[in-house]
Structure 1
Amino acid sequence: MNGIDLFAGAGGLSAGARLAGLDVVHAVEKDPDAAAAYKLNFPEATVHRVDIRSLTDEDISSMKCDVILAGPPCQSFSTSNQRTRHDSNPLNDFIFEPVRFVQLLNPEFVVIENVHGLSIGTRRRYLNLLLEKLKQCSYNTQVCIISGADVGLPQNRNRVFIIGSKKYLPNINIGFRDGQPTVYDAIHDLPILHNGASVDVLPYTMPPKTKYAETLRDRLSCCTGHLVSANASHIIARYAYIPQGGNWRDIPASMMGTYKDRQRCHTGIYHRLRFDEPAKVIGNFRKNMLVHPTQSRGLSIREAARLQSFDDRHQFAGSIGKRQQQVGNAVPPIMAAALLSQILG
């Protein structure tokens, strides 16, 4: 079977599809850096670097496929930023774009991923409308909420998957019984870095001690993208006060002068990850300033990618900020793989 990936980003859904035995042959991604990253990882796929709304019916009809995958923008549905969670956000209607592809391509399955916030509160009506549109196309539908613990992801991340199927599908039931990996399990073997580390290719300095890390290294001798934002000295000074599991509240108020109202900081700001627990959500990890468990710096791109379950062969493209965005926006591959393996049988 083959598929297409809409709003493909750097290829998290496609990486999961590959693990599940599905070949993705077309991808649609507007951002040039994300599209470049996608092509690096899936050179056999045709990447359409366009605004999805500009594709004509003829363009879409040429993309023959069995499965449609899509990860529409989530900013208007996320509970982490109430300023974008409203009906006038122009990103809202992107959630319905996959339906146009379904109507023209009539695939066996469609899988649409988004944030958990799509399923709660006022945003729920967008989910209900999407389900109704798929039913009007003669698809059986399911909504599946998957957590990191369900699939062995070292991250406390919940995602909503909307599934449409031409045939009857038993209820998807994903459960992980071997325990959830920790931050240590995921990143312990990566080279030690300093603030602003900018060497793109580094040799590993120790063997992996956990199955999770061993699997993602996949017999490589070097890792790429082990890059860290260069923080100002006053930011580095704040890190010294934060214990594992702590955050901005552990920093003396006298050192937080750049924050006009410290009480408006959420718990993810200056959060230092714990080695012995799964990570918080790896979203915009640069903006949140997620801190390495023991080193006085932010997370590297490769560390965040490991926590998202990308293997070390997966590459990202563009500036360090663009690469960080690609990692944070991605669907965790093992989450997508767990779902698709059940759907495709």
Structure 2
Amino acid sequence: MPKTELKNVIDIFCGAGGLSAGFSKAGYNIITGIDNNENSIETFRANHDCEPIVGDIQREGAISDIKDSVSQNGSNIENVDLVIGGPPCRGFSMANVRSDSAEHPLNELPARFLEIVQEINPEAVLIENVPRLLTIADGKFKESIIARLEEMGYSTTHGVLEAEKFGVPQKRRRVFFIGHKSVEPELPTQGEFKFQMPVTVKQAISDLPELPTGGGGEMRMEYSPNNSGISEYVAKMRRNEKKSIVMNHRTTRNQEKTYRRFKHIPQGGNWRDIPEDLMKNYTNRQQTHDHIYQRLDEDEPAKTVANFRKQMIVHPTQNRLLSVREAARLQSFPDDYHFKGSSFNARQQMVGDAVPVNLAYSIGKSLQNCHATSEISSV
């Protein structure tokens, strides 16, 4: 009899836990996560009711560590229904335009991910990555992932999803592969939320306290005293936050010369709006990306928030970079999701690397709907 209910989840390459947060919100039970970054593990542990694994899945004995962790969290590997994960995408990203070769070391990680899936043998699997994975090496990686899943007995689907259609105030594109052993899986076409979409930058972050010109702020701050008329999206993001405290609302402190650049950038503008005499250290302007010094348009969803410090993403109305909490809001992390780690830069990187929570939630709900359809048709 086909198994149509998925409940217990392992998150491989879990990062700060965006995928897990979305699936947990959709009603799944997160058994454990695994990542080799201790900052990510600390954040995952702080926000999920399970003990994650610090480790590299490429090393000998990785599957044994996963089985041990599952056991320590009160389950066993046979109870795992779904394995999810996003093998690190830097080998496929536009920032690595020379990595189209199959020999790029970071491009080996999806294959290793699938080896772990075969060992665990779950009912279903979800793989997340950047859309570039579909075309590099003449489509070799896309074809190999699909072929490998089918060899393991999974029916598959894949496609690129646009985050702003799924309750995320950000224009972010990600490719997802789903494999299922009992049903024909489907990707969602849009999210279902009780707020208007697409969510704009203003609707997502305008209630947060103003920060000093040029940057700064504190790890713990109170919400602005005048919070009347907050958006429906913000109301959802605040959910269980207690005592009017907002965490991680801190941003990079910039030098005076950087602050002077900010003043010249209109909403929707970028480094090209800055006078040349203030950009003398950018010697090769032809190779400067348009996303550098980009000021967000408050009436639109944000552009892709990756490493927003290195991108120099500028607040729509204040002359400073985004705070960690603002970037987390644009990734649809709720305000009670606290980012830990040994450094401020680590927290910035974790937020930028994460899968948006509402996008993950929509995929999780779609899988449940697929199950319900299968159950009805089999009666």
TM-score (norm 1): 0.95
Distance 1:86 1:188 in 2: 43
> Secondary structure in 2 aligned to 1:25?
strand
* Offset, 1:340: 1.1
Residue 218 (1) aligns with residue 224 (2): no
Residue 228 (1) aligns with residue 243 (2): no
* Offset, 1:104: 1.7
Asked if the contact 1:60–1:101 (Cα under 8 Å) also holds between the matched residues in 2, the reply is: no
The equivalent residue for 1:181 is: 199
Residue 324 (1) aligns with residue 343 (2): no
Return the letter of the residue paired with 2:332: S
Residue 258 (1) aligns with residue 281 (2): yes
* Offset, 1:316: 1.0
Question: Which string of whole-angstrom CA distances, capped at 9 and with x for unpartnered residues, describes residues 287-317 of structure 1?
Answer: 1100000111000000000000000011112
Please report the RMSD computed on the Cα atoms of aligned residues, expressed in angstroms.
1.6
1:282-321 matches, within 5 Å, as 282-318=305-341, 319-321=343-345
The equivalent residue for 1:3 is: 9
Residue 51 (1) aligns with residue 66 (2): no
Residue 273 (1) aligns with residue 278 (2): no
Asked if the contact 1:78–1:115 (Cα under 8 Å) also holds between the matched residues in 2, the reply is: yes
Return the letter of the residue paired with 2:200: T
The equivalent residue for 1:28 is: 34
* Offset, 1:219: 4.7
> Secondary structure in 2 aligned to 1:145?
strand
The equivalent residue for 1:163 is: 178
Question: Which string of whole-angstrom CA distances, capped at 9 and with x for unpartnered residues, describes residues 190-230 of structure 1?
Answer: 00001331410101013252111110011521110001011
Distance 1:37 1:57 in 2: 22
Asked if the contact 1:12–1:330 (Cα under 8 Å) also holds between the matched residues in 2, the reply is: yes
* Offset, 1:46: 2.1
Residue 88 (1) aligns with residue 103 (2): yes
* Offset, 1:326: 0.2
The equivalent residue for 2:209 is: 191
Identity of aligned residues (%): 38
Flag structure 2 segments of 5+ consecutive residues without an equivalent. 1-6, 71-76, 370-379
Asked if the contact 1:201–1:223 (Cα under 8 Å) also holds between the matched residues in 2, the reply is: yes
> Secondary structure in 1 aligned to 2:246?
strand
Residue 344 (1) aligns with residue 373 (2): no
Distance 2:215 2:100 in 1: 33
Flag structure 1 segments of 5+ consecutive residues without an equivalent. none
Distance 1:88 1:101 in 2: 21
Report the CA distance shift for 1:85/1:312 in structure 2 as closer, same or farther (over 3 A).
Answer: farther
* Offset, 1:232: 1.4
Distance 2:218 2:245 in 1: 12
The equivalent residue for 1:142 is: 157
Return the letter of the residue paired with 1:197: G
Distance 1:56 1:230 in 2: 40
The equivalent residue for 1:203 is: 222
Report the CA distance shift for 1:234/1:315 in structure 2 as closer, same or farther (over 3 A).
Answer: same
Distance 1:24 1:179 in 2: 28
Out of 255-264 and 266-275, give the one that drifted further.
255-264
* Offset, 1:121: 4.2
Distance 2:138 2:149 in 1: 18
* Offset, 1:81: 3.5
> Secondary structure in 1 aligned to 2:90?
coil
Residue 335 (1) aligns with residue 359 (2): yes
Return the letter of the residue paired with 2:31: V
* Offset, 1:79: 2.3
The equivalent residue for 2:141 is: 126
TM-score (norm 2): 0.87
Distance 1:270 1:109 in 2: 41
Would you say how many aligned residue pairs link Structure 1 and Structure 2? Answer: 344
* Offset, 1:116: 1.1
Asked if the contact 1:15–1:333 (Cα under 8 Å) also holds between the matched residues in 2, the reply is: yes
